[in-house]
Structure 1
């Protein structure tokens, strides 16, 4: 199925099927990542105050989504190889939707953990599959736009979670979960017939790295490490930002949710802003700047309770939570400019690295949070340190490469 047409001037344009596929991709990232992951964050104070779970258990259950995301990153390609991309994506959207309804009933910690894990699995698999299912059907000149539209769903989902959750909470915690489930169901139905067919993902990643130049291999490995460290830096914000403002600073759940809305609004602009910056300075420089700004922002959360500074840090982190995705993809394309198969394999490896350290960070921070007297500042400092190490690794690798070229 070809999802494009040609304009009178000869430039490629998107036809109705291409727009529908793009909309489906946006719905996929909106539901399985934007809502399934981020709607939980503004709910944490309510879960604790309603005595559904203790503070430590609520944070641990948030980390269940990260563990599922790792499983999804590993299982997405094999699942698509068995079912086809279209059917796999439909199934994953349905699973994410079912998880919202299931979480309306806190039957036990095990029950809640299971469904939070499944929602993460859906998100990880969709992240691996969504772009590679749609972009091959899109003219190359329009793939940047379509990719940005797909990832826009992340920011829209974050913003929606921040605006919908406080509104729905007026009806109660159970009805809040059901309301999120109904929204997810509507978006799943909207996307159902838009997923393109005709491509079956291979069960294993193609093209081993041994065939690449040594410089490219080292650059990719550094990038995988940086992307993994970026996960460690973002997890504290994903899980604890609202709780930090609401309970840590004593501002209440409504003010905490307001910061989450700010985070989501910034996230909507993130992919476009990061892509524009990369077009001007290159993806390597843009990624380096992203690491620096994120480290400063997470460190700011650790050392101050000033509402203005927290707001500024929230905006920065909101921009880069989804914005780091196209920056990483673009960096992979810079390193492997003429190898589409290896680009897809590298993206799969990068996503797995991010998912692994996101899960490790989720559980590690949960343990540290519960054994440090719920010390939010300590968790944020750990995140800032991870981002600082990623930035240092970038400069160290660049210095070594310069020495090697000089010799």
Structure 2
């Protein structure tokens, strides 16, 4: 099999994992949020809390993902977590109360965390070195593709009610699983471990910026649809369009981020993507009197910057750590997950305390994003093993 033939199945299969575990299991919840509130399944603060539980499950999955991949093998770990996603969607189709939904949203997050920690490095390990930049962009673009797919599918499924929407999402993930599993990447288990005799290089600027980006992106990732519906009085069509634009922006940001980071270096690309994230949060805070134009700008910018930074960070991990990039990437994924879990719970409390004021949570996101940009501006011009 040629190198070119090997690239596309591995990268696309890994992209299908991220499409399901992040794009649908996490971002597919965003247009579901206001529908669940309006149907009386949860309150506004409860809806935000479910997003936080998803982040917490993601943290646990990111922590255990590499170990699970070593124990079960990469294909076994991917199969287990795709099955868990299907089960979690089905379970959420029953209105069992906030505690029931929290458990299953947490398990969906766990599956997504494992898929993120395992599928990307595994695909990178089986792709020829010259094609890894493109492969990184392709596989991480699955996140944006899933968000866009969920933005189209969820409003259609919601016409049959909240329960049907959850069940329909389960069926969608099951179909993606069946299509992708023959092409699961299957590297040697050793590729998921630190090479013998090699220390992990420090990368404070990369990890610090990624963590602050993660914190700043919690409001767009959880509250965008609720901001549109309950904050701006937007209808279903506009709300769906916003999330489609978020997904398309994420696809553009991930594909472009991997390519540009390879050309100009990871650090300049990180700075540029963080500047876009600050602009996205600022646009989301525009007053309702501006109409919906600010939201139509904020949504694609949020996807482009916040999700696209994942591809830039993956490129930065390769630039800094070389053969140890899988371990550095796993560490970055864990820190990202920990930050989003903590921030998710804190912003859910802030949202409740403020009386469901979206300006409070998006304002906090803007401050955190600006801090991330400041860290990026203080970093070395190019990543190096000593940076």
* Cα deviation digits, residues 158-211 of structure 1 (max 9, x gap): 0011111111111111111111111101111112222133522588656798x4
Q: CA deviation at 1:114?
A: 0.9
- CA gap 1:205/1:362 in 2 versus in 1, 3 angstroms: farther
Q: What is the match of residue 74 of structure 1?
A: 63
1:361 equivalenced with 2:352 (yes/no): no
Question: Equivalent residue of 2:4, what SS?
Answer: strand
For 1:381, which of 356, 359, 363 is the aligned residue? 363
8 Å contact from structure 2 (residues 126, 186) kept in 1? no
Q: CA deviation at 1:397?
A: 4.3
* Cα deviation digits, residues 2-25 of structure 1 (max 9, x gap): xx41xxxxxx4224xx53333321
Please list, as runs of the form range in 1=range in 2, the aligned pairs for 1:162-201 lying within 5 A after superposition: 162-197=151-186, 199-200=188-189
Please list, as runs of the form range in 1=range in 2, the aligned pairs for 1:310-325 lying within 5 A after superposition: 310-325=295-310
Q: Which runs of 4+ in 1 moved over 6 A?
A: none
- CA gap 1:203/1:152 in 2 versus in 1, 3 angstroms: closer
CA distance in 1, matches of 2:143, 2:305: 11
Instruction: State the TM-score, normalized to the length of structure 1.
Output: 0.88
Q: What is the match of residue 14 of structure 2?
A: 25
CA distance in 1, matches of 2:177, 2:300: 29
- CA gap 1:178/1:201 in 2 versus in 1, 3 angstroms: farther
CA distance in 1, matches of 2:141, 2:317: 20
CA distance in 2, matches of 1:360, 1:127: 19
Question: Equivalent residue of 2:186, what SS?
Answer: coil
Q: CA deviation at 1:147?
A: 2.2
Please list, as runs of the form range in 1=range in 2, the aligned pairs for 1:8-407 lying within 5 A after superposition: 12-15=3-6, 18-197=7-186, 199-200=188-189, 211=199, 217=202, 220-305=203-288, 306=290, 307-336=292-321, 339-340=322-323, 342-398=324-380
Gaps of 5+ in 2: none
8 Å contact from structure 1 (residues 41, 241) kept in 2? yes
* Cα deviation digits, residues 39-77 of structure 1 (max 9, x gap): 100011110110011111111011111001100100101
CA distance in 2, matches of 1:127, 1:388: 26
- CA gap 1:51/1:149 in 2 versus in 1, 3 angstroms: same
Q: CA RMSD in A?
A: 2.2
Q: CA deviation at 1:343?
A: 1.6
Instruction: State the TM-score, normalized to the length of structure 2.
Output: 0.93
Q: CA deviation at 1:281?
A: 3.0
Which of structures 1 and 2 has the bigger CA Rg? 1
